[in-house]
């Protein structure tokens, strides 16, 4: 079932780092921004800001340009080179108003450049706009991740049998074509097993279709537990299952199919007197044999097993 996209949990407070070597500037900006509901983190120069950012994780940095030890330009450059910090927007606040300084700031990756002295109302509008951009970016990333998960689920549902959770008929046929091509290319064995529950119609008629569905689900789980990584289990249709066994000889396929048959025969089904068995037919890919012929021979062997008394596995007939 496809779920609706989950809403993102936004932060109650967005954090803004103020980087300035003049305490009065930090105090004024801090008071202004706190009144707007922002969390404030002060730093006295670019070097301290870089040390604090991984811990504080600010959503926005207001950065002076002219500071001791490390100026704002250098701090911004290093931020944009850091995987951890490159996406944090930087707004320069500076008395350096020459055009070349403004251009340099933007070239280094600044999101905005505000000249000192600044208008407080204008500053707040710009800060709010950039904070909103941060929120929107996070929403986009969040919902892209959610959509990716939903798409992956849809892709899985498209190849899965809804009742048993095994691969569906269509996907199994696609996989069989792929595995047969690999087997021919690398001269590797490939075996197919067709398995069919014995007297399943009678079981449904006697105990009801809900119980029959429970049996199919349990059989699917037994099949999953009896195969190896790389094997392809599928529901071929109704009470019939298919196993695609790459890099497996007929003899190896017989071992796997017999293991599954035995587990089903000995399984307890939750109702007194109920006994479920399965019959199977196998075939290994031969030179010049198509995938449809491969499956047909396995299916023929399955019906030979039925005719021979059921609850058994039949290999292909040898010429």
Quote the pLDDT of residue 65. Answer: 96
Indicate the pairing of strand 39-43 with strand 15-19. parallel
The mean pLDDT value of the chain amounts to 93
Which domains does the chain show, CATH number per domain? 15-152 (3.40.50.2300), 169-314 (3.30.70.270)
| pLDDT mean over 69-94 | 96
Per-residue model confidence as pLDDT tens digits over 142-152: 999 999 999 99
Indicate which residue of 98, 229, 239, 307 is catalytic: 239
Indicate the pairing of strand 15-19 with strand 60-64. parallel
Quote the pLDDT of residue 103. Answer: 96
Q: Where are the alpha helices (DSSP H) in the chain?
A: 23-34, 46-56, 72-81, 99-107, 120-158, 169-186, 200-207, 209-226, 250-266, 291-307
Q: Is 239 a catalytic residue?
A: yes
pTM of the model: 0.66
Per-residue model confidence as pLDDT tens digits over 19-67: 999 999 999 999 999 999 999 999 999 999 999 999 999 999 999 999 9
Q: Does the pLDDT at position 316 exceed 90?
A: no
The tokens for 272 are 């007194």
Q: How confident is the model at residue 317 (pLDDT cuts 50, 70, 90)?
A: very low
CB 40 within 8 A of CB 33: yes
């Amino acid at each position: 079932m496809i779920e609706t996209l989950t809403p993102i949990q936004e932060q109650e407070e967005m954090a803004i780092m103020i980087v300035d070597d003049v305490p009065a500037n930090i105090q004024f900006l801090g008071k202004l921004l706190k009144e707007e509901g922002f969390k404030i983190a002060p730093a006295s120069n670019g070097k301290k800001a870089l040390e604090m950012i991984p811990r504080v994780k600010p959503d926005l940095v207001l950065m002076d340009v002219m500071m001791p030890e490390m100026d704002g330009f250098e701090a911004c450059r290093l931020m944009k080179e850091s995987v951890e910090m490159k996406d944090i927007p930087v707004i320069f606040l500076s008395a350096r108003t020459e055009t070349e300084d403004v251009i340099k700031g933007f070239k280094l990756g600044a999101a905005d450049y505000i000249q000192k002295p600044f208008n407080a109302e204008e500053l707040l509008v710009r800060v709010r706009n950039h904070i909103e951009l941060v929120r929107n970016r996070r929403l986009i990333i969040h919902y892209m991740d959610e959509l990716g998960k939903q798409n992956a689920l849809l892709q899985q549902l498209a190849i899965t049998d809804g009742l048993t959770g095994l691969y569906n008929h269509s996907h199994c046929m696609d996989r069989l074509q792929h595995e047969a091509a690999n087997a021919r290319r690398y001269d590797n064995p490939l075996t197919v097993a067709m398995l069919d529950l014995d007297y399943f119609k009678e079981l449904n008629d006697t105990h009801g279709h809900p119980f029959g569905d429970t049996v199919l689900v349990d059989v699917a789980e037994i099949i999953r537990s009896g195969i190896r990584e790389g094997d392809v289990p599928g529901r071929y249709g109704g009470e019939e299952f298919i196993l695609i066994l790459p890099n497996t000889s007929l003899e190896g396929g017989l071992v796997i199919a017999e293991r599954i048959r035995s587990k089903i025969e000995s399984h307890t089904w939750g109702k007194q007197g109920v006994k479920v068995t399965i019959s199977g037919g196998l075939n290994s890919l031969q030179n010049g044999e198509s995938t449809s012929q491969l499956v047909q021979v396995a299916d023929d062997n399955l019906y030979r097993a039925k005719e021979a008394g059921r609850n058994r596995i039949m290999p292909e007939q040898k010429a």
